[in-house]
């Protein structure tokens, strides 16, 4: 028996100038603390192969929740942080399917 679950995601990537990294990380951390409980996951990661490159990733159980977030002040703060402290490269929106499998032994 398996169960399908659709997870909606938002991924923002960009470069942050060296002397603004600490401020950028604190800004994103602050905004993440304000994001509603409908957010399943929020991650900020630094690229180890490309200096000063950051990825911000969120996942949501519904497209409506994701769209609502994209109109929020928290989203605007995070997106603006890329523009002000570096260079926004890409914003990606999509979904993936999570498959949950339960095995029953007879």
Asked if residues 99 and 4 have their Cβ atoms less than 8 Å apart, the reply is yes
Of residues 75, 86, 80, 89, the one with CA closest to residue 21: 86
pLDDT in tens, 51-76: 899 999 999 999 999 999 999 999 99
Residue extents of the structural domains in the chain: 2-101
Residue 91, token pair as written in the block: 């914003």
> What's the length of the chain?
106
- How remote is the C-alpha of 100 from its chain's centroid? 22
| Class of the CATH-defined domain 2-101 | alpha beta
Of residues 34, 104, 44, the one with CA closest to residue 76: 34
* Strand ranges (E), 1-106: 2-16, 39-46, 53-60, 86-101
> Over the chain, what is the mean pLDDT?
91
> Is the model's pLDDT at 1 over the cut of 50?
no
């Amino acid at each position: 028996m398996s169960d399908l679950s659709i997870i909606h995601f938002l991924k923002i990537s960009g470069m942050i100038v060296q002397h603004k990294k600490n401020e950028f990380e604190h800004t994103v951390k602050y905004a993440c603390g304000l994001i509603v409980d409908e957010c399943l996951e929020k991650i900020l990661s630094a690229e180890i192969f490309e200096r000063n490159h950051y990825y911000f990733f969120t996942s949501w159980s519904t497209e409506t929740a994701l769209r609502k977030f994209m109109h929020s002040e928290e989203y605007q703060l995070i997106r603006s942080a890329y523009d002000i402290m570096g260079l926004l490269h890409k914003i990606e929106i999509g979904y993936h399917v999570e498959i949950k499998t339960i095995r029953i032994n007879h």
